[in-house]
Copies of this chain bind each other. A is one copy, B any other.
Amino acid sequence: MAHDTVHIPMRLDTKAILLRQNLFSKASETLLESFSQAAQVKTLKKGETLFLQDDDADAFYIVLSGWVKLFRETLDGHEAVIDMVTSGHIFAETAILEDGAHSFGASAIDDVRVLRLPNAILKKAITDDNGMALSMLTSLSRHRKRQTREIESLTLQNASQRIGCFLLRLCHQDDIGPIELKLPYDKSLIAARLGMKSETFSRALNKLRDETGITVKGATVIIPTLETMSHFACSACSNEFPCDDMH
């Protein structure tokens, strides 16, 4: 185990953290107890790698703080950012259903703390307890629905609409304009997350500004009204704002 993996301090309530996950909301006391005893907190500095694609998958993670980038690398050395996850998000829990290797890599884009939970316990739970297998099915199905939406968005929304969609996902549905947002991470990472080159992102952001009247200053974005933005971004999507997979 690396030196930056430490057993969790008593004040971190692993059971409460697990119960907040849909996957574990109906978990047995015994299962929660097993996880609590095995859980470890791992800290990563900005840029550090948690695991690489094809590494043995012996654990899954819940983000405690910071942002983690999930990515795949192409044969010619480019990177596809497949997701960005932050506080409260679970990831890599589906590796137990694959061949025991991670199908993507994970690295910290700022200082990060994650809760590390052994896959062996999860695997035994879904085999021994059909309730847990059904929870895992529901959770996977939710992932799938989100991915289907993402494929739809990559297929039908233009670059400006994709940025608009990204910004809407940072809003709360009952916000009334004008809304001031902080971008959660660098614009270059947002571009990568949305599958755009930096130049495309800049052009598309300018177009979005013209179409919806947003102002962008550094990491601060002001959206005059949610209605104008959702009218622009959601017209090329099959979901109406607010999306059912938003939060």
Residues of A at under 8 Å CB distance from B? Answer: 53, 72-76, 78, 80-82, 94, 97-98, 103-104, 126-127, 130, 133-134, 136-138, 140-141, 143-145, 147-148, 150-152, 154-156, 195, 234-238, 240
> How many copies are assembled?
2
Q: Which residues of B contact A126 (CB under 8 A)?
A: 133-134, 137
The reply to whether B151 and A154 form a contact with Cβ atoms under 8 Å apart is yes
| Minimum CB distance partner of A152 in chain B | B80
Q: Which residues of B contact A74 (CB under 8 A)?
A: 152, 156, 235-238
Q: Which residues of B contact A145 (CB under 8 A)?
A: 98, 103
A32 to chain B, nearest CB (A): 20
Given contacts A82-B152, A145-B98, A151-B151, A238 and B137 within 8 Å (CB-CB): no
| Minimum CB distance partner of A79 in chain B | B156
The reply to whether A144 and B94 form a contact with Cβ atoms under 8 Å apart is yes
A103 to chain B, nearest CB (A): 6
Closest 7 CB pairs of A and B: A155-B195, A97-B141, A133-B133, A154-B154, A147-B147, A76-B235, A80-B152
